[in-house]
């Protein structure tokens, strides 16, 4: 295995989750001296998908300029393809002038062969003679990094026990490379390993609680020490935190609740309200908007009641991040009046009079600012993991 290859694979963007898995396991088989010769059977088993899906994802990765390959033969017999990765010196991306597919068993329309032989840069390790080298079909281990041998036998046994205890707790561990994950585990300090074991359950729970949350490879999780993000209140996996009423975060929570569908379980109108609504269309609309403000968003009204008693609310990190762009608005300003007018038009309850002079709203004119705020709330990259 090449650290450089797997590190590169972890930084690649613009690919689906399934393509990322194939790319990671392909990189896991890369050796800077021997090359990269994994069989499609191995990749299919490592990624837990069928070989046809492997071929399809390889074609897509090749079209994106991330990988390329040349056919290897021994006489008239075909051997595993020799794969090259775009981070390598002398990498030659696929051209549009392609011959028939050389992925065994593939009937995909896209071509995956090349007319020319792969010719790496003269300084590239790919120029080394390959005839006497055994092709690399499985992940290979690099020599121990300097200092790793200093770990005593007893310490190594404990590190290994801790690894085997932690490894199955990561949701995607069946799809990850155990060799790459173990290597990154040994590179952590004792304190980091202890923190990883302690905080991984909270990290997993936080990701599962997020809409559309997905898990990276365990080796990447360890390399990035992702559990440390739990300590950052702005992180997408941080737990919700308490914020004072009328703070930026509190106002973001309030507006996000107002953007949710209005509740419809209202009490019946009183006799007075029915009489008032019967006077005219305008009177009926006024009664409707008053009732909407009172009953349409009960969570917002609860926030207002708590704020009147100087009690804040728990705010999720994604709202905290969005709220950082809110601007300060004086309660008696023209802009505050425009925000109140927007609330009135939508039937939203206005802020309670608690003596707070300064309010926080999304920057800009109310209608446009709310549209931008709503778009930010709806932002989120989906992960197409279909096979």
pLDDT digits (tens, 9 = 90+) for 292-310: 999 999 999 999 999 999 9
Per-residue model confidence (pLDDT) at position 288? 86
CA-CA distance, 179 to 185, in Å (whole number)?
10
Percent of the chain whose predicted confidence (pLDDT) is above 90: 30
pTM: 0.45
Q: Which residue has the tokens 């800077």?
A: 32
Per-residue model confidence (pLDDT) at position 299? 94
- Residue 282 confidence class, pLDDT cut points 50, 70, 90: confident
Note the pLDDT tens digit of each residue in 113-135.
Answer: 333 344 444 333 333 333 334 44
Q: Within 10 A of 161 (CB to CB), how many other CB atoms are there?
A: 10
Topology at the third CATH level for domain 3-127: Arc Repressor Mutant, subunit A (1.10.10)
> Cβ-count burial of 304 within 10 angstroms (0-12 exposed, 13-18 middle, 19+ buried)?
middle
CA-CA distance, 308 to 301, in Å (whole number)?
11
Please say if the pLDDT value at position 359 is more than 90: yes
Note the pLDDT tens digit of each residue in 67-81.
Answer: 998 876 666 666 678
Q: Which residue has the tokens 């005593």?
A: 152
Task: Give Cβ neighbours of residue 177 (< 8 Å, ≥ 6 apart).
Answer: 1, 6, 24, 25, 28, 46, 139, 217, 219
User: Which element (helix H / strand E) includes 202?
Assistant: helix 190-209
Sorted by where each begins, the domain ranges of the chain are: 3-127, 148-231, 241-260+297-378
Per-residue model confidence (pLDDT) at position 235? 67
Per-residue model confidence (pLDDT) at position 211? 67
Task: Name the nearest CA neighbour of 194 among 168, 169, 164, 162.
Answer: 162
Helix (H, G, I), strand (E, B) or coil at 62: helix
CA-CA distance, 104 to 327, in Å (whole number)?
60
**Helices and strands (H, E) in the chain, number of each type:** 15, 8
Q: Which two tokens stand for residue 302?
A: 């609860």
């Amino acid at each position: 295995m090449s650290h450089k290859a797997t590190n590169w694979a972890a930084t690649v963007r613009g690919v689906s989750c399934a393509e990322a898995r194939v790319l990671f396991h392909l990189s896991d088989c890369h050796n800077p001296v021997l090359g990269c010769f994994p069989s499609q059977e191995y990749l299919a088993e490592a990624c837990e998908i069928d070989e046809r899906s492997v071929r399809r994802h390889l074609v897509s990765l090749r079209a994106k300029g991330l990988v390329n390959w040349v056919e290897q033969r021994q006489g008239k017999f075909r051997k595993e393809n020799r794969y090259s990765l775009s981070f390598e010196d002398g990498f030659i991306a696929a051209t549009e002038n392609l011959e028939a597919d050389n992925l065994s068993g593939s009937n995909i329309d896209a071509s995956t062969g090349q007319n020319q032989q792969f010719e790496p840069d003269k300084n590239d390790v790919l120029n080394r003679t390959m005839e006497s080298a055994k092709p690399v079909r499985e992940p290979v281990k690099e020599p121990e990094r300097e200092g790793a041998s200093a770990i005593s036998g007893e310490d190594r046994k404990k590190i290994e026990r801790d690894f085997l205890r932690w490894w199955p707790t990561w949701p995607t561990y069946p799809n990850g490379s155990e060799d790459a994950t173990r290597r990154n585990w040994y590179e952590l300090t004792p304190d980091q390993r202890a923190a990883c074991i302690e905080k991984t359950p909270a990290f997993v729970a936080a990701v599962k609680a997020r809409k559309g949350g997905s898990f990276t490879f365990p080796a990447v999780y360890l390399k990035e020490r992702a559990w440390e993000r739990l300590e950052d209140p702005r992180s997408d996996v941080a737990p919700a935190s308490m914020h004072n009423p009328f703070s930026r975060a509190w106002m973001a929570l309030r507006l996000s609740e107002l953007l949710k569908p209005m509740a419809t379980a209202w009490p019946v109108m009183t006799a007075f309200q029915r009489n008032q609504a019967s006077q005219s269309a305008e009177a009926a609309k006024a009664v409707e908007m008053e009732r909407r403000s009172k009953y349409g968003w009960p969570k917002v009204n609860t926030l207002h009641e708590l704020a009147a008693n100087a009690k804040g609310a728990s705010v999720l990190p994604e709202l905290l991040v969005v709220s950082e762009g809110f601007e300060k608005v004086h309660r008696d300003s023209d802009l505050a009046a425009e925000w109140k007018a927007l609330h009135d038009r939508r039937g939203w309850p206005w802020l309670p009079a608690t003596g707070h002079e300064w309010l926080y709203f999304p920057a800009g004119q109310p209608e446009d600012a709310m549209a931008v705020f709503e778009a930010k709330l709806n932002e989120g990259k989906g992960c197409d993991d279909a096979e």
